Structures are given as C-alpha cells and as structure tokens.
A and B are shown apart, each in its own frame.
Chain A
C-alpha cells in the first residue's frame, strides 16, 4: 500500500461523511463550472456580436440616412481628414446613386404630367414616379415595387397626381455604387461569381459589375454591354451580395460614377476601418470631432448592439463573480472538512511521526485525501454543470436583457415617426436587443477546460494545503496522549 491508496482509503474511512461532503462539493463545483461555461458562452456571444459589425465605422452626410436626403455630399478632402484620425487603418469613400430605367422614366413622366416638367432623368430628393433617381440606365430593375413600394411611392406624390386613386406604375431604381477598390460600401470584398473584379478605376472607365438577379433579368453575361447615362458600359463581372435587393445593383469605378453623374469630388459615404474593436467607440467620437457633428453622421454598429453587448457584459460579470464565489465556497468546504479531519487524527499523525513518517509524507497524504474528495466532487459537479449550464446562461441573459428591451422599445414606438414599412422595420430593430442576442448555446471548449482545471486545482490547494501544514505542527509526542 502506498501513500496514494492509503489516501483514497482514508477519504472513505467515514463513508457517510465523505458522501455528504462529495454531494455538497458537487453542488458548489457544479455551480462554479456552470457559471464558467455560461461566462465563456456569453463571452463568445459578445465576440460574435462584435465581429458581426467588425471594426468598420460608416460616415454619412449629416441627416442623410433613411433615404430622405438631408445634408451635403461628403468630399475627398473630408476623406483625407478621416484617414488622418488616430486608430484609422483605412478609409474608402463610395458614391451611391439611383438610376432609373430610360424607358420607364420617360413613360412615367408622360403619364403623370408632373415628372416630365422636372425632367425624367433627374428628380433627386423627390417621391413620385422617378423615386429620387439621379441618372438613367438601359437596365430594367429585377425587383418589382410590390405594394410597399407602390405605397411609399404614392406617399410622395399625394395631392399632386391627378389620378391619385390609381397610382401610376413605376420601376424600383437600380442602385449604382461607385467604388475606388473592389470592395462594397461596407468595406467587405465584393463576392464575384463570374468574370473578374474591376481593375480600371479611371474616370473614362467603362467597366461595371452587375448583380446576379439584375444580370438575369437583363440577360447580361460577362462582356455584355448596357448604358449608364450616355456611356456604354461593359460587364466585367457578376456578383452575389446575398439578397435579391442588393443583387439588383451595379458597381462602377468611383471616378467614372462621379464623372457620369456630374458629381466630381463628391462621395455618399465613407467606410472607415479601425485597428481594433476596442477602439471603435473612441474613433467614432474622434471622427465626429474631426469632420464636424453638423456635417457628418458617424455610426458604428447599432443601439441594439450596444445594448445587447452591455447586457451580456453584465451577465459575464455576474457569472464570473458567481464562478469565483462558488469555487471559494467549495474551497472553504474542503478546508473546514480537512481541518476537522486533521484534528480528529492528531494521535494517528503522532503515530505516523513516531514510526518515522516525515512532515512532507504526512502532508502529501492529506493533500491527496482532499484531492480525492475534490475529484469526486468535480466529476459529479461536471454532470450537474452539463445539464445546468445552458438553462442558467439563458436565464441570466433573459433576466438581464428584459429591462434593456423595455427601455429601448418606446424610443421607436408606434407612431413616433409616422407610417411606412421602412419605419416599422426600424421600430422592430430597436426592440430587438433580445432577438439580437438570441439563445446562448453553451459548449465546453479548451478555455473552459483550462480555467475549470485551474479552478479545481485552486480548490484543492486552498482546501488541502492549510490542513496539510497543520499536520506539520502535530508533535510525535501526541501518540502518548491519553496513555
């Protein structure tokens, strides 16, 4: 029999007490592990939410968001100012314009008798048949306006169209984005599904990328041609942006777009890359200061995202504190039990010393005895944590996000900004912090295992080392006590 088997045997010398200790330890360790798993899961969710937005900040002209206009176009000079702000790794500008179909725009103007007076080619900032287009193209939109589009379009012309009871048909404008690199307005790479990306970014360039649904609608292939304003463009490649609306667009070289639309030096928005997610907020503030709050709107993520991350941060803190507290409780249980055991066995320790055991040998024996209890408690606790971690994590999250959702709800409440499908979507987004978080799925990764292992070792250390040191103070003369 060696010290290990002797320690295991000693751990079960009093089976009832050891069983009770293991059960109590299992609850404490199980709770600690569940909290650790919840902490890791929430941390992963926060990272996921942050990475969903990434390090990108968007700069728009002040008041222009929402598609209703406002503010003045951004300039190349402002882009240079943005690039000079601290933590900014890159900043690219795009010019986004709406193109109306040459034929549809012309017939609509004739049908209404109002659009024609303003010129079918350009009706910026207006509703009505032109739907705020700033140029023309030979392309036919692949997206039908539907009832939402009809309603939004009719809102803008109410009281001006003579036959308001039967709004005239119109075509959804095609969005043309002028880019200086092969990247989207959000800064991500364009997903080319056919042909190649843009490589001629000169003002006279005739290259274009066409969205997949738009290309299909107009029977375009790589090498096909179409017109933008009076220039014949050639399809350099096809792209897939992931949804039908985005795929109803084209990418053009930035300089060519500015030239075609007669908007030299103007930009619709900047996409700014920040060196770290942690610096996004400070860079957002710095950009606003540098460019002027009255001239630009600088946005990063969403209010809901911040709310969600804030809520999850609270949950993370709670779970971390609960993890440490549970571990501390488990350590205290082991400590008290082992102190009791050492006091009970003073005479036995004296016997061991009298027959030649060193302090170290006896200390190791008691440490191993505590380890047996901790390991058993951990095994049972791990089973408890397996079943408890997911419900605990979700209960913590739902308990800490309900107030945030309630607070966010009224800000975009019904009627606050008037009717329209677009605004109801905004309200839904504000109410969606909880939806944004969704369900927290727990899993045991290597970090959890490492942290759990360190935690359990800490329990064993706290619980066993002090009693083990106490055994060193027991004198061998104890063996003769009571004789």
Chain B
C-alpha cells in the first residue's frame, strides 16, 4: 500500500520559492492502476520523483508498505529503488549500446541475481511485453519507440517491484502503440497485483485506470 501524507517540495529560484508539490496527500491499495493528471509544469514529474525516491521531499511522508522512504538514508534508498520500484520513462531511458535483453537484465544484475537466471527472466519478460525473440539481441537504439517502451516496461518489472511509476509512458508513442502499452500496464496491475501509478496528461489513458487524481498548482484532488 502506498500512502502519501502532506508532501511538500519547494525550490528556491533567486528571491522566489516555488512549490510544485504543495501538501499532497493520498493513498492507493496494492494492485491499483491509478493516474495522476495535470498540465505540463503542474508538478507531475516532481511528485513522481518523490514517490520513486529519486528526490527527497522538503516535508511530508511517503510510506510504502509501512516503510517511510522520506526518512531512509541514501544507501537504503538505492535498495528501495532497486527492489521495490520500477520506473517507466517517457523517453524510455534505455542504455543505447546494450541489447534489449541486456537492458532488462541490468536491475537484476544490481540485485545480485546470477547471470543465467537473469538472462532467462529477461527473455521471459520481453516475451511477456510482446517483444519477439529476434528483437531481444537488438541494440536498444535500433528499436522503434513502441519496442523501446516495451523494453522499458520489462526492465521495470525485472525485480518484481511493488510499485511501478510511469512518467507519460505513451507521450512519445502513436495512438495504437499507446493503447497497447496502456493495456499492458492495466493487465500487469490486475494480474500481478502490482501498483501502477501513471503520470499523464492523456485523458484516454486516464480513462482506463481504476483511480484518477488531478494535480494543479501543487495540489492533488481525486476525480
């Protein structure tokens, strides 16, 4: 279960203080497919970085399965990101000179999974997201956008995380591919009981989620 309590993130820009996330509170059950909607610059990505322990909140708590990640030291945050979180980015962020399979194997390598095991699991995950066998060995920078996003989803699933955070996962994809990715994420949430939180401004995507939140001027409301 993910619980966010009165989280604030502020930045100082010269004489001004900006608060892209200003007192956000919400909670979602395990296995929920939820969306956070908002315009560009509304603080969606900042909130995502706080939930994924990429950045630290100025104040407030982010609790994942009774563990307050806002108070964890850096070393434990690394372990948290590795074991409990999966990220799917708008720009995919694959390592370009590694193959699709090698990209999926990376989080498992960091978790100390033996080579043979991680190789087999990477192949299984790539098949699961619909990437054909012949694409597994292809370098990431030689895959299409849709394929790269599938590889990114497979990489996010590698260590069987409790929470997947997706930052505009369909933002760079055409409508048809976007639909496929949304369906894939929804299926994962319901079948694998993985909490999936999608940050988007795509209403079509949001319409297919179980819960929808709206972020405006740093404040979160549920539709």
Contacts and interface: CB of A to CB of B under 8 A. Distances in A.
5 contacts: A355-B87, A355-B155, A356-B107, A479-B54, A483-B167
Given A357-B78, A479-B87, A483-B167, 16 more contacts: A6-B98, A347-B93, A348-B95, A353-B78, A355-B82, A355-B107, A356-B78, A357-B110, A358-B75, A358-B110, A361-B110, A477-B49, A477-B54, A480-B49, A480-B54, A483-B91
B54 A476 contact: yes
B164 interface: no
Contacts of B102: 1, 6
A480 B54 CA distance: 9
B159 interface: yes
A120 B52 CA distance: 115
Contacts of B79: 356
Contacts of B159: 356
Contacts of B91: 482-483
Given A2-B115, A483-B167, A355 B106 contact: yes
A351 B93 contact: yes
A453 interface: no
A157 interface: no
B97 interface: yes
Nearest to B109: A2
User: Top 5 nearest A-B pairs by Cβ distance?
Assistant: A356-B82, A356-B110, A476-B54, A351-B93, A477-B55
B132 to A, nearest CB: 21
Contacts of B87: 354-355, 479
Interface in A324-376: 347-348, 351-359, 361
B81 interface: yes
B160 interface: no
Given A476-B54, A477-B54, A479-B89, A356 B81 contact: yes
Interface centre among A10, A354, A475, A479 (most CB of B within 10 A): A354
Nearest to B101: A1
Contact of B45 (A2, A357, A480): A480
A9 interface: yes
Interface residues of A, number: 26
Contacts of B97: 9-10, 13
Interface string B65-95: 0000000000100110111000101110101
A351 B89 CA distance: 10
B105 interface: yes
Contacts of A354: 52, 54, 81, 87, 93
B204 interface: no
Contacts, number: 77
A356 B54 contact: no
A1 B53 CA distance: 27
Contacts of A356: 78-79, 81-83, 107, 110-111, 159
Interface of A: 1-3, 6, 9-10, 13, 347-348, 351-359, 361, 475-477, 479-480, 482-483
A354 B109 CA distance: 14
Interface of A is mostly: helix
Contact of A352 (B54, B106, B111, B167): B106
B152 to A, nearest CB: 10
Contact of B78 (A1, A2, A358, A482): A358
Contacts of B93: 347, 351, 354, 479
A360 to B, nearest CB: 10
Interface residues of B, number: 33
A274 B207 CA distance: 98
Contacts of B49: 477, 480
Contacts of A359: 78
Contacts of B75: 358
Interface in B94-120: 95, 97-98, 102, 105-107, 109-111, 115
B137 to A, nearest CB: 11
Nearest to B119: A1
B47 to A, nearest CB: 11
Interface centre among B78, B159, B167, B168 (most CB of A within 10 A): B78
A355 B164 CA distance: 11
A301 B69 CA distance: 79
Contacts of B167: 480, 483
A357 B83 CA distance: 11
Nearest to B106: A355
Contacts of B53: 476
Contacts of A3: 109
Contacts of A475: 54-55
B62 to A, nearest CB: 15
B41 to A, nearest CB: 12
B18 to A, nearest CB: 15
Nearest to B111: A356
A480 B48 CA distance: 10
Contacts of B78: 353, 356-359
B182 to A, nearest CB: 19
Interface centre among B54, B98, B102, B167 (most CB of A within 10 A): B54
A480 B199 CA distance: 13
Contacts of B81: 353-356, 476
Nearest to A359: B78
Contacts of B55: 475-477
Contacts of B109: 1-3
A1 B89 contact: no
B89 A483 contact: yes
A480 B89 contact: yes
Contacts of B52: 354
Contacts of A348: 95
A347 B49 CA distance: 14
B30 to A, nearest CB: 21
B90 A483 contact: yes
